[in-house]
Amino acid sequence: MSCDRAPFSCEPGHYLEMDSQHCRPCNPGFFSLGGGIRYEEFITLPAGFSVENADSSMDSQYSSGAAKPEECPKEAGWIVKDGELIYIPTPCVSKLSFSANLVRPGSVEFTYRMPRNNRALSMQVDIRNEQCQSYNDLAKSMFLKYTKKEREPEEERNGEWRKRKIELKSGANVISWIISNNLGYQTSNQPIHFDRIDVLGLAFTRQCTACPPGTSSPAGSAECLPCEPGFFSSKGSAKCGKCPESQYSGYKAEKCIDRPPCRPSDYYPVREPCTNGSSRSVYKKVLPTVCRDDLPSSTKLPPPSPWKPCPKCNPGMEKNKLGVCEFCKKDYFSDGNACARCPVDTVPNYGLQYQNWDIMPPKLTTRCEYISEDVSNTCNIGDSWIPSGDSLISAPSMELGIAFELILSIDEGFWNPLAPKPSKTMKVPVAQVTIVFEMSCGSPSCVLYFIEDVAAGLGAGAKESFYRFLAAFNGTNSKRVWSHTITKNTPARFMVAFLRSGVSSGEDRISDEARIYSINVTNVGHRGGQGGGASECLACPHSTGGETCVPCLAGNYMHETTRMCVSCPTNTIVNASSSRVGVESCVPCGQGLTSKDGVTCSAMGKVQLKSEKEKDAFTYDFSPFVGRSWNISGVRVFSREGSAYYHFFTIALFPPNIKCEEQFDNFDMIGIMDQDKENIEGLACRMTALPTASSNRSKTAYVTPLLLAGRLDAISLNRTHGNASLSDQVLEYDSHDNTSLPLDVFFWFDRISTISGACPHGNQLVVVARCQPNKKQIDMRLPRNCPDGTCDGCLFVVIMETAQACPVCEAMDYETINGECVNGKQTIHSIPKKHCVITGAASQTKQVACSAFTAFQRAILTLLILSMIVLTIGFVFICRKNRRLEYKYTRLIESHTGELPAVETCGLDEDEDDDELQDRVIFSKGRKSAPSTNSRTTLRDHRENDNAAFISLDSED
């Protein structure tokens, strides 16, 4: 057997002397792992290591398509730079591999530091044996993130360095560190640092390794100890030497540096506390003290400034007898002067309103933290943020590789006495944090983080901190405002962390500076108790029962004059972040949305939409989409060993909200196994899916949920909304001509703020509902030209194809075809026009009763029947008239006296008029009878005026 394959090794701190075949201790200044090897000096990539970069935007199933993979940047991914092994963020998947042949079961242990804002980075460690089979049941897949770390005493803090150990089997092993950058989070350009890698389980060591510069070790050491500040050492040193008084050195220094003469920038002013109504500024040296003030060219310590009257306190505070500002007591308020009691029928608005910075206000603490090197001592530069009158300034410091942290602790929690109670379907904002800041940096690499410690809301029993990044700003920024909405009543803790340019490489720009001008936190306190001070008192709403200070119901606002709760107008909702006073607190719903409760905007029932170019309006019915959600898997990204990740989307168009929560077994996920699972809630989210193999079982871990939509903003037929616009390529219109473009409805959701400046307007989701009359089921997919859901990392697009996205046919939108009449039944077919679909009462086919006659025949028959009826009525009427005349004539004939018989009955019916001309007959006996003058006059009048008929009747003998 070869000695290199011998299954034995020496103890750590020893090596095998080949001549005597005995283990010997290492000499001073040297170290040994025994049966292992350590990599911590990276001049070039050591033997056994390899790097592979692959385009993450190409899935294996698309590799044969027309799209070509983009070339990965050469100066990104895993590289060796300035003696370090680092990962620089890249859109490609970057893999660092190391091959080792273990003679016995061993382990790989690596010390690393993730960047603070690493929510976009996912790292997996893959271990494969000599059969190239993965045994992640031992190594496990891992996702490492800064946002979760153990709480340690401040004097024992060690920056953000972590040490992980993974067990290995004997034989050939390939260890791979695979890092992918998830679009959507837009991580910063801060690298991942690997300080050292230890591989144990190898054969014996023939010689010890010299300690690197800045470290030392006694005889028989398994590792080298770093030199403290003020000490130095060269390579292979047995102990660290002390620097002369005229020189200084940092932590783990190879040599000492001459102390420069002091300059004006080596001093900074600090305002003293108010004493007897006056205060002044005194100057202090920048820590750590490096410069010399005893040289002729040195700038001396400036004298204190003259005494000046103390400025007034911050709103909600007043000076006590000692001249120190303190919060007003319960039910009192102030504008920074004396506190006054709130008027009757009002409530104090408790909060924190810091805008005067003579001293550090309550609830604020500062600290510094090493992040650039594996430093074991405590960062001690004094206050890392210094009050300077009108602002709070990051402390000037000569210390390198540090973060300046400002912690805001609100142990009382939050409570808004005038807000309605939240429900499962409605989250009411309880409070808001607003910070006005400014940054002045020498390069864009400086960054200001706003972070929330989620563990603060878990109570006193929480032993760990779980940091969630809220926002990040890089480079020089003029005065700007950052706000964050709080929806929980529990205590909270926020951190502002400032990192100067070059901090990741230990080359900080000392002149970089961050300023905070104001901090405003609203509704601090709990029910029945106060937190902070009140700057004003709010008017209480009145209920119909006469009660006061009872919050208005959801969807109501308080009238300015009557103080009564009034419902918002139709199709408007209450702006939850407003004061809820006045009708201006109600904001209109977006296009295509309506509201009846004043709480949420939705699209219930039929909705009419009209585009800017089209004249006609289309009617849609979106009720089939209510109460449903869909899951979509994005493109898979594979490495050559088969490791993969993909994005998993969950989307709902309408409330209720969906919940996205990290899902993984604690034993599977090294790095987050001792932390809480993160979850978010909204209408749409995206998670990173990491398929893993464990105990011969395949399963998928879901991590890093990203909120894509909180509420529906508008439904329209326009492809633009605000600052967002969809191109023909994203909508896949490039394969259609203008006459065959699909009919799309765009569901635009609200913008979600991001933690970096890569998306200045935030992330936004749009669901394109495409009318496909032949698709009865709903098909949700991602655009073919953006297979991961986004082409720029900011605008996310999902395409939904279904007949239910087509307009609903109205009366004028379809034509009917009548079938033959068979057995008294006729089938009527409805043919929709354009892209509309027939739903509801208007079914595609229906049967009606019918007759054997055609419509024309029915019309002729009806006309004939009506004519017969009219003729019959006329004939009957004429017959009746003739019978009356015949009766009158017969009576005259029967009379022999020549005189008219006495009237027995009236010859006219009751309903007949006696002045009708056709019924007037005048009888005469001829000329033998001489009528009287009056009679002749009467007859003449009848002949002249009435044209009466005259019948001459001669007497008969």
Pairing of strands 921-924, 949-952: parallel
The mean pLDDT value for 900-917 works out to: 53
pLDDT of residue 8: 64
pLDDT of residue 615: 66
The least confident of 29-33, 146-150, 248-252, 792-796 is: 146-150
pLDDT at position 901 over 60: no
Question: Residue 568's closest CA among 543, 545, 550, 595?
Answer: 595
Under 8 Å between Cβ of 684 and 709 = yes
pLDDT of residue 18: 81
pLDDT at position 653 over 90: yes
Integer Cα distance of 596 and 526 in angstroms:
32
Question: Where does the pLDDT of residue 148 fall: very low under 50, low under 70, confident under 90, or very high at 90 and above?
Answer: very low
Between 945 and 241, residue with greater pLDDT: 241
Question: Where does the pLDDT of residue 927 fall: very low under 50, low under 70, confident under 90, or very high at 90 and above?
Answer: very low
Question: Residue 366's closest CA among 400, 389, 395?
Answer: 395
pLDDT at position 946 over 50: no
Question: Residue 477's closest CA among 503, 430, 509, 513?
Answer: 513
The span from the first CA to the last CA of the chain, in angstroms, equals 177
The mean pLDDT value for 74-91 works out to: 82
pLDDT of residue 137: 35
Has this prediction a pTM greater than 0.85? no
Question: Where does the pLDDT of residue 637 fall: very low under 50, low under 70, confident under 90, or very high at 90 and above?
Answer: low
The mean pLDDT value for 39-63 works out to: 71
Between 693 and 807, residue with greater pLDDT: 807
pLDDT at position 138 over 50: no
Under 8 Å between Cβ of 792 and 806 = no
The mean pLDDT value for 2-19 works out to: 72
Structure tokens at 69: 């993979």
Question: Where does the pLDDT of residue 692 fall: very low under 50, low under 70, confident under 90, or very high at 90 and above?
Answer: low
The mean pLDDT value for 181-200 works out to: 70
Integer Cα distance of 828 and 809 in angstroms:
16
pLDDT at position 569 over 90: yes
pLDDT of residue 776: 86
pLDDT of residue 339: 95
pLDDT at position 636 over 80: no
Question: Where does the pLDDT of residue 953 fall: very low under 50, low under 70, confident under 90, or very high at 90 and above?
Answer: very low
pLDDT of residue 713: 92
Structure tokens at 740: 């065959």
Between 279 and 905, residue with greater pLDDT: 279
The mean pLDDT value for 302-317 works out to: 91
pLDDT of residue 754: 73
Three-state SS at 832: strand
Question: Where does the pLDDT of residue 480 fall: very low under 50, low under 70, confident under 90, or very high at 90 and above?
Answer: very high
Q: pLDDT tens, 449-467?
A: 898 887 776 665 555 566 7
The secondary structure element, H or E, covering residue 448 is: strand 447-453
Q: What's the one-letter identity of residue 35? A: G
Between 690 and 325, residue with greater pLDDT: 325
Q: What is the DSSP string of 106-172?
A: EEEEEEEE--SS-TTEEEEEEEE-TT--B-HHHH--B---TTEEE---GGG-BTBEEEEEEEE-SEE
pLDDT of residue 429: 83
pLDDT at position 129 over 80: no
pLDDT of residue 392: 95
pLDDT of residue 47: 84
Question: Where does the pLDDT of residue 748 fall: very low under 50, low under 70, confident under 90, or very high at 90 and above?
Answer: very high
pLDDT of residue 276: 78
Average pLDDT, the chain: 79
The least confident of 196-200, 218-222, 273-277 is: 273-277
Question: Where does the pLDDT of residue 130 fall: very low under 50, low under 70, confident under 90, or very high at 90 and above?
Answer: low
Q: pLDDT tens, 149-180?
A: 333 333 233 446 677 888 888 888 888 888 87
The least confident of 43-57, 208-222, 891-905 is: 891-905
pLDDT at position 742 over 60: yes
Bridge partner residues of 853 (DSSP) = none
The secondary structure element, H or E, covering residue 878 is: helix 855-894
Sign of the torsion formed by the C-alpha atoms of 259, 262, 265 and 271: positive
Q: Which residues contact residue 161 at a Cβ distance below 8 angstroms, ignoring those fewer than 6 apart?
A: 111, 112, 113, 195, 374
pLDDT at position 437 over 80: yes
Integer Cα distance of 144 and 166 in angstroms:
14
